[in-house]
Structure 1
Amino acid sequence: MPDWLNVMLRSLFFLVVLFFITKLLGKKQISQLSFFEYITGITIGNIGAELATKVEHSLFNGVVSIATFSLAPFIAGFISMKSRPFRNFVEGKGTVFIQDGKLLEDNLKKEKYTIDELLELLRKKDVFNVSDVEYAVLEATGDLNVLLKKENQPLTAKDLNLKLAPIKGSETVIMDGEILDESLSTVGRNRLWLKTELVKQGITVENVFLGQINTYGELTVDLYDDKLKVPSPQERPLLWATLKKCQADLELFALSTDSIEAKEMYQVNSLKIQRTIDKIEPILKS
């Protein structure tokens, strides 16, 4: 067998081996590397590259070596779950850089960070003034997490005592012009409902690049043709307008009638509709 073909086949073989080993190690291996996992990952990659190009090396020995290094994170992870000191030693722990609004210079020196590097990390968190920070910690993964002082934190609906409707994730029901029946059944819909909604918008399934059902059960679509504009769902605005009209009509009836009983009835029902509007306003106007 020619050497170039041998190298090609070995490379493909170790590519598959490394792929499955990485899958076994889990997503943590590629998202949050500890010092130990970092060293292990580099070593496994080097072994695979060396064995793929050096045709005189044994494939079996290479697989055994990779498997040995792959077992190390599993063993270390198991021990880490049982022992906190071991976990801190292997995975490391966070280092506080700012506490109670004050810079901890000793901790910066300990982690070999300069003030310029800290400022750069803060800017990546959209923080440009150290005095705005209440607490900042450098995690074992190298990420800097920042807690702003209370007066510098953005306002939330809770701060303003606003009631908001609960939000659920959107479900993709059409992708590349194909209907995803499993996603449809997840949200309690079927193909008949979907096709009816598409007819309302004057489009066909084949023209839809992406279709999703949002948290309110409305269908939103993106078409292949970017020049075509699809109107946003109008069910909630229409319901809002209808309720407001009913409430206004009842108030008008109460003002226009001379009957005390009728006036009282109209006013009572007008208040009921207004209470209903107040309750569902976050949903209808979001």
Structure 2
Amino acid sequence: MPQWIEIAWRSACAVVVLFALTRLLGKKQLSQLNYFHYIAGITIGNIAGFISLEIEDHFLLGVTGILIWTFLPLLLEWLSLKSKSVRDITDGQAMVLIKEGKVLEDNLKKARFTSDELLEELRRNGAFRLADVEFAVLETDGGVSVLLTKENQPITPKLLGIQVANEREPQTVIMDGTVIDEPLATAGLSRGWLAAELEKLGVALENVFLAQVDTYGQITVDLYDDKIKTPEPSQKQLLWATLKKCEADLELFALSTDEWKAKRSYDQCAASMKSVLERCEPFLAR
């Protein structure tokens, strides 16, 4: 067998083995490397390169080495789930860098963090002034988590005392111009409804790159032709405006009649409509 064919065969086998074992190790190997994962990843890569090119050596010996370096991290993962002491050894511990707005220089030195690196990490978290930071922690994966001071934290509906509705995951119902039936059914909708909504927007299915349906059944589309502007969804706004008009009309009818029975009836209906509006406000007015 020519050497280039053998190298190609061994390399293809190595890729398949590495892919299977990386999936076995899980996504943590990709996103949250600890010390041992880092060492294991480098070693497994070196062994894979070695067994691809060293055609004089036995292929299975290299695969055996990869298997050992794969199952050792799995064993440590299992032990770390059982013991915090093992987690402290393999993953390390989080370290406080800023507490109550004060930089802890001793911890900064232990983490081998320079002041420039600290400021860079703060900027990555949207804190461009040290005075805006209440708390900062160096996580075990090397990232820095930042808590801003109370006055610099983003305003939320809860802080303003505003009730909002729970949001569900938007469903992507069209992708690359093709209707996807599963998310459409998950949203409790049909192809007929989708065709009607696209007709309202004045767009053809084949010109839709992506389309999503939100919690309230409103559809948002992105077209292949970026020059075409599609109207913003307005069903919620129209429904809210209609309900508000009904309330105003009932109050007007109550004021314009002299018949006390009719006035009382209109007042009761207006009060009922106001109650409906209060319950619907989190869903329609925000």
Structure 2-normalised TM-score?
0.95
1:23 corresponds to: 23
1:250 corresponds to: 250
1:152 & 1:204 partners in 2: Cα distance? 46
The 5 A counterparts of 1:231-250 are: 231-250=231-250
1:64 corresponds to: 64
1:74 corresponds to: 74
Deviations 1:21-47 (A, max 9, x none): 111110001010000101001100111
Unpaired runs of 5+ residues, structure 2, are none
Q: CA deviation at 1:226?
A: 1.6
1:73 & 1:136 partners in 2: Cα distance? 30
> What SS does the corresponding residue of 2:158 show, helix, strand or coil?
coil
The 5 A counterparts of 1:1-286 are: 1-286=1-286
Deviations 1:152-184 (A, max 9, x none): 212211111011121111001111121111111
CA RMSD of aligned residues (A): 1.5
Any runs of at least 4 consecutive aligned residues in structure 1 with deviations exceeding 3 A, and if so which? none
Deviations 1:12-67 (A, max 9, x none): 22111111111111000101000010100110011111221222222111110100
State the number of aligned residues: 286
2:200 & 2:213 partners in 1: Cα distance? 15
Q: CA deviation at 1:268?
A: 2.1
Q: CA deviation at 1:139?
A: 0.7
Unpaired runs of 5+ residues, structure 1, are none
Q: How high is the sequence identity, in percent, across the aligned residues? A: 50
2:118 & 2:221 partners in 1: Cα distance? 43
One-letter amino acid matched to 1:65: G
1:149 & 1:233 partners in 2: Cα distance? 37
> What SS does the corresponding residue of 1:135 show, helix, strand or coil?
strand
1:198 & 1:120 partners in 2: Cα distance? 46
One-letter amino acid matched to 1:248: A
Q: CA deviation at 1:92?
A: 0.8
Structure 1-normalised TM-score?
0.95
Q: CA deviation at 1:186?
A: 1.2
